[in-house]
Structure 1
């Protein structure tokens, strides 16, 4: 808890110091590059103005324009003290301890999450999903199931089977017939693999992506998902229909009846439809005849749904209605006959409204392994990836070769990212880390190399976040220095002050004037809703001492019908204290032994002053916490003076003026 509080103290800038330097005011300022100029130097180190500006703005919001000049100067002095202490922590090697390293790495990992490629890729996926939501794809598929225990190169035979079926379709064989014959999707026997229309976020991502990327009339190459390999035929695409809200009356199919228009269920549905055409009451007919028990009492109302959200026939009929209140003829589904009434229609909502829903679905549906290839491709493009194809082919050949083949040159470059090269030595280290035994087959060799390359590219990205994102660098630095400051303060100030009893007692005696009680009284206060309740409470209290148990008993007895009837307090009160409104009346009476009755703001009070305590010194144990805090402040102040004498401090007044001007311009 102390550490959390400590970080709050740093951020609020409450460390005491004396402002020793006052900058000269200047009417004319030449613009300076604050990202390059140091605002102050301390010893051999310095702080760039942009970094100071960042930390000042973060911790000093809503500063009035007329207070800005002094606020910046005061905060600068506080920040100098902070940096001096951190410098001492580095010199004392606090950053080398295992405790510090573990804690800092934990904080850094948390800070890095919003900047990692996964998060940026997720944002890319959110935007991509929203664009795809503007369209609906009509597709069919054939699934070749891959058992869960089959991994890696062992899936090749399933891929080849899917590819051979695709070739049959490309040669003109009926896709529906091929689906009925070969697909492992159980529904294919009835629908020939037809999935109807669907939009984004309704299928697993690799399937969705392939469907949206395949032109109308084409058949995709085999696509791997968690179910197996799919080949997808895209039959049509259209603009999104948005969402629709309808109500329905359902008449269920009767057991054993023929499910066509000769059935009794259809005739009943048609009679209801005819009544509605004669302006019969929808609510009454729904409550009387609808056999959908979940919606019958709610006038048959269903939630909004979009394409793919309902059975195809029901959905098609619902979206074909155009006028609010329009009613469809009976529509058949596998459940029965439905009469549908249009309640509302709306197009695709703005991204800002859909974002939370899209983000949840993206996070839930996209598995890391499915994303990794595309994330790596993104990083390759961002970081100027350059492969050395001959070396890569040689490395893969070595992984499948006989032992007689000579080992590739360990320093041979496989690829580079920005200014960093990765050699065969890196690949060798990776294979050793993963306990890979060579040789392997050629497909496995390609997989292993791809995994190695992906791992190194992702690791490179994580290690260079501070260079790519100044805000991350500042946050990480802020946490790092905060931990160091806490550790050195704990060692040099807090532990010393809390453990040295002799020093504490000596400090207490030398500053006893700071630890004095003012005149106090010991009193009991009865605060009642009415005079009647006050009289009852006074009678019950009688000659008893107002102990916590007595107070609790009396309050419980008189507050049975309302907790506002009575409040009782017994305490020692001192002038100037903050107190509850119920106890504030203590300041309205004369502080002498005796009893006072009074009314105030509709409440009735009895105040018994039992004893008047004169002004006196506070005992050490009464103020031990305060003495420790004051002693720590003294040690801290002395330490700051030592550090300011130890290191030469120089403030660039021109840069400081530019910082103040920039803040003023921003506030105008």
Structure 2
């Protein structure tokens, strides 16, 4: 069993922002955690240590943590707290930069705890579940006339109900679509929408279609387009995605002679394709009239259900073997011959999650989720609307422009009118006016002025209330935000006192180098040109070039230029000054010879040895990178030791034991 050790200087800056973790025994309203230790008088609770060690998790499947690992983690935790304490003492938590960064983190961290997150997750899962299936449906659209009255809407609804009855009595929906549908495409597709899956239709249409069995007819379904009558023709599993290449011969849809010529041409092409000697790419290049794809073998991007016109899509998905060619098919663009290039199953939820989320947030589901969020928030926080007052305000102020809203509110003596109460506080019309003051909207709201801004204000206050509730009562969120707060402070302190100082303090670097020069020593070194032979047929030529020349830059350049031009895969080379005692190849060589051939792990190496250098100290310039790294470590250790003196640490051993036991339950 081996646990990851919690970081000594950044617990939280490089972990996931998802918040999807399981903390040990943190409830919504926890009892106050006992104090584990004090750092310069500042108390640190037991649960913080337990939380951080639990988040680091075991690297294997063994549960719990050993005593030795626990003590090591506790030491690192104390050092971490000392640095946070010093960062606070230096006022790093009061800077504008810190506040801006921390607020940005908080907005991200709270998202998984919000009501919206769980509702959104439910919609994501529902959409993905529906995406496992594809539905083929026909529909008839009944649109409302412009500026339709209630009476007009009822007439449209009655017509939709009549047509539904006709279909249920045996009439063909596709024939009726040509006669009745206000969807312009019905004249060509006869109301047949082909196959589609989730998130490819507006939500009410999708909900209705996925709730119908094959052959079943829907009641009139209201969308922004009008009323729809829907009949499902087929349902089957989603086949995933395909990639096809195609040949296209175009014709004008209303030109029968041109179409007849195109039909004969595509038939001749199809006959030619059947010959064994035919190269598909050549046929595409010579005959396909799709200029966007004929230069690359007719290949089209990957697509899934609902992405192409139905006839093309059905032909593509009917191909089962890679390389299989379809008979000619007709679409509105012309005649096609398709070849299957590849296919793949539907991706996992994790792969599609962000794409699904993006689509949901762009359609009506987003508004539906927001309505549900508001409803749950109202129930949870005891929202009570002052209905009489709100109704009167709507009557008086809905026709008032936003620019005159506040003045009208005061002149009518309505600014103290109650709107609603929430968690014991009553909100007034004056509060709404204050909220509206600095906000603008792009388009004039369809609702009245008061109704529009009142709904936005209610949602705003409910959202603020939820955030305050989570911040004050959710221990898991409190732990997470503290972790990030302290992580930012820790980073700021380390950057100031260690990293930047170690990088920029050239005098300090040189002094550290002089005091620790024994750490920066070369072992015995030698100039060497090492040639690994990959093609034994080139060995004699290489030997002739290298065996008598001695080590020099001209020899190396000439050899490398020659083999890269004439036999680029014959050799691998490296040259320079090497510490040879530990080198995997040079350690096997006779360093007294200027040229030699040796075998290492079954590989032949040609080696040219040049000048040798005895062991000795590195120059500062040769060691600068190592010195900076070591100097920064020295600065950190010095800082930690000074902080232990500045901020005395007292550990409550009884609570320490409780923490150990909590990690081994």
In 2, are the aligned partners of 1:137 and 1:199 still within 8 Å (CA)? no
Q: Distance in 2 between matches of 1:468 and 1:283?
A: 73
State the match for 1:387 in structure 2. Answer: 384
Work out which of the residue numbers 225, 229, 232 in structure 2 matches 1:234.
229
Residue aligned with 2:68, SS: helix
Q: Distance in 2 between matches of 1:332 and 1:525?
A: 67
Would the alpha carbon gap of residues 555 and 38 (structure 1) be closer, same or farther in structure 2, given more than 3 Å must change? farther
Instruction: Compute the displacement of 1:599 (Å).
Output: 0.8
> Which range moved further: 79-88 or 171-180?
171-180
In 1, are the aligned partners of 2:209 and 2:230 still within 8 Å (CA)? no
Aligned residues between the structures: 586
State the match for 1:608 in structure 2. Answer: 609
Q: Distance in 1 between matches of 2:564 and 2:437?
A: 75
Instruction: Compute the displacement of 1:238 (Å).
Output: 6.7
Work out which of the residue numbers 25, 50, 55 in structure 2 matches 1:53.
50
Q: Distance in 1 between matches of 2:201 and 2:460?
A: 28
Verify: 1:537 aligned to 2:524, yes or no.
no
In 1, are the aligned partners of 2:136 and 2:195 still within 8 Å (CA)? yes
State the match for 2:650 in structure 1. Answer: 648
Would the alpha carbon gap of residues 503 and 312 (structure 1) be closer, same or farther in structure 2, given more than 3 Å must change? closer
State the match for 1:152 in structure 2. Answer: none
> Which range moved further: 90-99 or 455-464?
455-464
Would the alpha carbon gap of residues 441 and 62 (structure 1) be closer, same or farther in structure 2, given more than 3 Å must change? closer
Instruction: Compute the displacement of 1:373 (Å).
Output: 4.6
In 2, are the aligned partners of 1:508 and 1:627 still within 8 Å (CA)? no
In 2, are the aligned partners of 1:589 and 1:596 still within 8 Å (CA)? no
State the match for 2:416 in structure 1. Answer: 409
Q: Distance in 2 between matches of 1:205 and 1:414?
A: 32
State the match for 2:366 in structure 1. Answer: 371
Would the alpha carbon gap of residues 504 and 426 (structure 1) be closer, same or farther in structure 2, given more than 3 Å must change? same
In 2, are the aligned partners of 1:541 and 1:554 still within 8 Å (CA)? no
Residue aligned with 1:141, SS: strand
In 2, are the aligned partners of 1:504 and 1:627 still within 8 Å (CA)? no
Residue aligned with 2:369, SS: helix
Q: Distance in 2 between matches of 1:97 and 1:201?
A: 46
In 2, are the aligned partners of 1:518 and 1:616 still within 8 Å (CA)? yes
Would the alpha carbon gap of residues 67 and 376 (structure 1) be closer, same or farther in structure 2, given more than 3 Å must change? closer
Residue aligned with 1:408, SS: coil
Work out which of the residue numbers 524, 540, 544 in structure 1 matches 2:528.
524
- The within-5 A match list for 1:625-644 is 625-626=628-629, 628-643=631-646
Alignment deviations for residues 613-644 of structure 1 (CA, whole Å, 9 cap, x no partner): 24447558845425623531442242243245
Alignment deviations for residues 141-170 of structure 1 (CA, whole Å, 9 cap, x no partner): 23459xxxxxxxxxxxx5x51754431133
State the match for 1:396 in structure 2. Answer: 394
Residue aligned with 1:433, SS: coil
Work out which of the residue numbers 424, 431, 437 in structure 1 matches 2:436.
431
Q: Distance in 1 between matches of 2:447 and 2:64?
A: 73
TM-score (norm 1): 0.67
Q: Distance in 2 between matches of 1:8 and 1:500?
A: 23
Alignment deviations for residues 214-265 of structure 1 (CA, whole Å, 9 cap, x no partner): 99553345x33xxxxx222334347723357999999999976599xxx999
State the match for 1:24 in structure 2. Answer: none
State the match for 1:40 in structure 2. Answer: 36
Q: Distance in 1 between matches of 2:614 and 2:528?
A: 15
Q: Distance in 2 between matches of 1:496 and 1:123?
A: 46
State the match for 2:139 in structure 1. Answer: 139
Instruction: Compute the displacement of 1:56 (Å).
Output: 2.0
Q: Distance in 1 between matches of 2:438 and 2:128?
A: 40
Alignment deviations for residues 162-210 of structure 1 (CA, whole Å, 9 cap, x no partner): 7544311334586699999998743467789775775532223355457
Q: Distance in 2 between matches of 1:329 and 1:566?
A: 53
Would the alpha carbon gap of residues 79 and 570 (structure 1) be closer, same or farther in structure 2, given more than 3 Å must change? same
Q: Distance in 1 between matches of 2:330 and 2:622?
A: 85
What residue ranges of structure 2 are gaps of 5+ in the alignment?
Answer: 1-5, 14-23, 164-172, 281-286, 320-325, 401-407, 534-538
> Which range moved further: 400-409 or 423-432?
400-409
Residue aligned with 2:652, SS: strand
Q: Distance in 2 between matches of 1:335 and 1:497?
A: 68
In 2, are the aligned partners of 1:533 and 1:565 still within 8 Å (CA)? no
Instruction: Compute the displacement of 1:407 (Å).
Output: 1.9
Instruction: Compute the displacement of 1:330 (Å).
Output: 12
In 2, are the aligned partners of 1:129 and 1:358 still within 8 Å (CA)? no
Q: Distance in 2 between matches of 1:516 and 1:7?
A: 28
- The within-5 A match list for 1:152-551 is 160-161=147-148, 163-172=150-159, 185-187=183-185, 199-205=197-203, 207-209=205-207, 216=217, 218-221=219-222, 223-224=223-224, 230-237=225-232, 240-242=235-237, 311=310, 353=348, 356-357=351-352, 360-361=355-356, 363-364=358-359, 366-367=361-362, 371-382=366-377, 384=380, 386-390=383-387, 391-400=389-398, 404-409=411-416, 412-416=418-422, 422-434=427-439, 443-461=448-466, 473-495=478-500, 507-509=512-514, 511-512=515-516, 514-517=518-521, 519-529=523-533, 530=539, 532-541=541-550, 544=552, 546=553, 551=556
In 2, are the aligned partners of 1:528 and 1:566 still within 8 Å (CA)? yes
Instruction: Compute the displacement of 1:394 (Å).
Output: 4.0
Instruction: Compute the displacement of 1:381 (Å).
Output: 1.0
Would the alpha carbon gap of residues 51 and 425 (structure 1) be closer, same or farther in structure 2, given more than 3 Å must change? farther
State the match for 1:106 in structure 2. Answer: 104
Residue aligned with 1:661, SS: coil
Instruction: Compute the displacement of 1:558 (Å).
Output: 3.3
TM-score (norm 2): 0.67
In 2, are the aligned partners of 1:187 and 1:193 still within 8 Å (CA)? yes
Instruction: Compute the displacement of 1:513 (Å).
Output: 5.8
Q: Distance in 2 between matches of 1:473 and 1:132?
A: 37
Q: Distance in 1 between matches of 2:629 and 2:327?
A: 82
> Which range moved further: 184-193 or 37-46?
184-193
Would the alpha carbon gap of residues 182 and 464 (structure 1) be closer, same or farther in structure 2, given more than 3 Å must change? farther
Would the alpha carbon gap of residues 185 and 465 (structure 1) be closer, same or farther in structure 2, given more than 3 Å must change? farther
Would the alpha carbon gap of residues 534 and 492 (structure 1) be closer, same or farther in structure 2, given more than 3 Å must change? same
In 2, are the aligned partners of 1:42 and 1:649 still within 8 Å (CA)? yes
Instruction: Compute the displacement of 1:367 (Å).
Output: 1.6
State the match for 1:571 in structure 2. Answer: 577
State the match for 2:67 in structure 1. Answer: 69
Verify: 1:126 aligned to 2:135, yes or no.
no
Alignment deviations for residues 383-415 of structure 1 (CA, whole Å, 9 cap, x no partner): 6252314243344345337664212327x3525
Q: Distance in 1 between matches of 2:255 and 2:395?
A: 66
Q: Distance in 1 between matches of 2:503 and 2:303?
A: 64
Instruction: Compute the displacement of 1:432 (Å).
Output: 0.6
What residue ranges of structure 1 are gaps of 5+ in the alignment?
Answer: 1-5, 14-30, 146-157, 225-229, 273-279, 322-327, 663-668
State the match for 1:19 in structure 2. Answer: none
Q: Distance in 1 between matches of 2:45 and 2:136?
A: 53
Residue aligned with 1:447, SS: helix
